[in-house]
Structure 1
């Protein structure tokens, strides 16, 4: 540490003390007793016109980054400590005695403390970024834990403990902090690091759901005349997966959903296991959420007499276990979706036999999901109920079916799946929980989250 003259202005003293590890903007109002600790390989950026009041401390531990935007106000006796990264967006405000810790001790388990050493740091630390978006305000004595993102313009009430992410334009309070109401927020600068969730789908044509496409057919100002002909220009994926993607984007407009639909028409579990393997071999990204569903073609092929393509129940269970094991290593949450039943494609007796067999496959899927920590979404009962009740409607009512051909689904069938999936996601609060950044072992957190904050730090010697 370099010794500095006590009569230097605070900004000059800090620049001399920390050198290139500190980037300090213009016209900042900093107290004489501000404590800044920057470990080797760490970096602190403070923007222009930042105000920090007396008694505050900023710790940036080894390799971590703290980035404070322009026009940020930080109150008295505030404590900011980072092992992964903390960012305060432009115009954000922290009132007095706010505490931001992006890390915590890991549990003192035999896995983490192999030597039995009885010191507080023996178990190591886990960390995840704290992101406070532009215009957010944290009132007195608010504590924020690692992995939390607080949205633009959010207002967090005094004494709250923010352990889960808060949406933009939200008033939150309590322990743990929860949304009390939402409001029409003021405009904020473009947020160039929006929260992104990657969602994968692996399944059959029920997930793939191809639809013929022609540009003119969807141009309301230039629709083709009745009786005219148009050319199929390509295929789009539609169905319940497409509609769920739209629903997610509408419900969480401040989140980017990166949807990857790997559904394939006619695929058995044998085929889908190959798709999962190829995807995990070729792609380095992780999934936040995965939907996995198959089995209908495994059963159907046997009843079609295509025995070389049919997949028996034991092989099917093996494929499900293998796929779940692969996906578990690179996915935060997996939802196994049951297959929908067969409709009237054969003689009633044959359809009943097919569905009885398909039930066994769904039961095997539910068992595999439980063994691998995945959730199981059973759409069979609501789907059969909708099909039965629609079939019993009087002839004067508009005819409708959940199937287009006894296997593939109509828009109505897709809507049943959509509603069940939306209800399931809401019941388990899956998306809300995925908005938190996962807390990882300290060095792993630096590796994974470092690129998020790289734009706010120069190269550190």
Structure 2
């Protein structure tokens, strides 16, 4: 296990991370973050890890930048997991073009946030790629999401971070299933879809499932 005794692990992102953590499912949400927390805690209870969820539904990387000091730096994480990018892309396809984040801005902003955090806290990083649950690789939103995922992949190499390839995880299950088996809107998974994401996280952490 890459986590060490007493470490603090902070997750930040959009609604997929939030998942009710601010209200009905406080404080961890009822999605992939809580599944990862639960499985790691069950197997390694002696580590006494602290888990923090700072996801907020609807966020883009711009929103993260506005709250980064309070929700990340002030938390002094030993590990920081960032999963952002779905809304940055989606806004260009759902009629809110002014809220979409161009890919160059996305990369520059995310890199700056990661650099600030590593410099301020010395934490290790876990970077999860954005996804859309769509088997047609030529579909415009799917194709654009992959481009943003490639940004995350490059940043993971740059920062020697753990890279969670969530799009690949959904592509694998879609070989034998349909989109509706995982999410009603290609974006917000029901619990089995969150389990797909959680498994991708655990595998990236070196867990043999």
TM-score by length of 1: 0.41
CA-based RMSD of the aligned residues comes to: 2.7
Counterpart pick for 2:52 among 260, 264, 270 = 260
Report the equivalent of 2:123: 332
Counterpart pick for 1:323 among 113, 116, 140 = 113
| Gap runs ≥5 in structure 1 | 1-166, 168-194, 213-233, 393-399, 429-461
Distance 1:389 1:423 in 2: 21
User: Larger radius of gyration, structure 1 or 2?
Assistant: 1
Q: Describe the superposition over 1:304-360 as per-residue Cα deviations: whole angstroms up to 9, x where unpaired.
A: 22122110000000111011102212143101001122449xxx79x8100100111
Residue 388 of structure 1 aligns to a residue whose secondary structure is: coil
Residue 403 of structure 1 aligns to a residue whose secondary structure is: coil
Answer yes or no: is the 8 Å Cα contact 1:239–1:411 preserved in 2: yes
Question: 1:262/1:322 Cα in 2 relative to 1: closer, same or farther (>3 Å)?
Answer: same
TM-score by length of 2: 0.86
Question: 1:303/1:331 Cα in 2 relative to 1: closer, same or farther (>3 Å)?
Answer: same
Report the equivalent of 2:40: 248
Answer yes or no: is the 8 Å Cα contact 2:162–2:204 preserved in 1: no
Distance 2:144 2:36 in 1: 29
Residue 389 of structure 1 aligns to a residue whose secondary structure is: coil
Report the equivalent of 1:276: 68
Q: Describe the superposition over 1:15-51 as per-residue Cα deviations: whole angstroms up to 9, x where unpaired.
A: xxxxxxxxxxxxxxxxxxxxxxxxxxxxxxxxxxxxx
Counterpart pick for 2:155 among 368, 375, 390 = 368
Residue 49 of structure 2 aligns to a residue whose secondary structure is: strand
Residue 45 of structure 2 aligns to a residue whose secondary structure is: coil
Q: Describe the superposition over 1:118-173 as per-residue Cα deviations: whole angstroms up to 9, x where unpaired.
A: xxxxxxxxxxxxxxxxxxxxxxxxxxxxxxxxxxxxxxxxxxxxxxxxx9xxxxxx
CA deviation after TM superposition for structure 1 residue 273, in Å: 2.0
Report the equivalent of 2:132: 341
Report the equivalent of 2:195: 415
CA deviation after TM superposition for structure 1 residue 287, in Å: 1.3
Residue 390 of structure 1 aligns to a residue whose secondary structure is: coil
Answer yes or no: is the 8 Å Cα contact 2:11–2:80 preserved in 1: yes
Question: 1:340/1:261 Cα in 2 relative to 1: closer, same or farther (>3 Å)?
Answer: same
CA deviation after TM superposition for structure 1 residue 374, in Å: 1.9
CA deviation after TM superposition for structure 1 residue 368, in Å: 1.9
Q: Which has the higher contact order (CA 8 A, sep 6+)?
A: 2
Q: Is 1:235 the equivalent of 2:24?
A: yes
How does 1:22-171 map onto structure 2 within 5 Å? none
CA deviation after TM superposition for structure 1 residue 380, in Å: 1.4
Q: Describe the superposition over 1:274-329 as per-residue Cα deviations: whole angstroms up to 9, x where unpaired.
A: 22233356x2x521211111111011111122122110000000111011102212
Answer yes or no: is the 8 Å Cα contact 1:338–1:376 preserved in 2: yes
Residue 95 of structure 2 aligns to a residue whose secondary structure is: coil
Q: Describe the superposition over 1:89-131 as per-residue Cα deviations: whole angstroms up to 9, x where unpaired.
A: xxxxxxxxxxxxxxxxxxxxxxxxxxxxxxxxxxxxxxxxxxx
CA deviation after TM superposition for structure 1 residue 196, in Å: 1.4
Q: Describe the superposition over 1:39-95 as per-residue Cα deviations: whole angstroms up to 9, x where unpaired.
A: xxxxxxxxxxxxxxxxxxxxxxxxxxxxxxxxxxxxxxxxxxxxxxxxxxxxxxxxx
Report the equivalent of 1:222: none
CA deviation after TM superposition for structure 1 residue 427, in Å: 5.5
Answer yes or no: is the 8 Å Cα contact 1:302–1:310 preserved in 2: yes
CA deviation after TM superposition for structure 1 residue 373, in Å: 2.6
Answer yes or no: is the 8 Å Cα contact 1:343–1:406 preserved in 2: yes
Answer yes or no: is the 8 Å Cα contact 1:202–1:263 preserved in 2: yes
Distance 2:207 2:41 in 1: 18
Report the equivalent of 2:17: 207
Residue 189 of structure 2 aligns to a residue whose secondary structure is: coil
CA deviation after TM superposition for structure 1 residue 258, in Å: 1.1
Distance 1:371 1:424 in 2: 17
Report the equivalent of 1:299: 89
The size of the alignment, in residue pairs, is 202
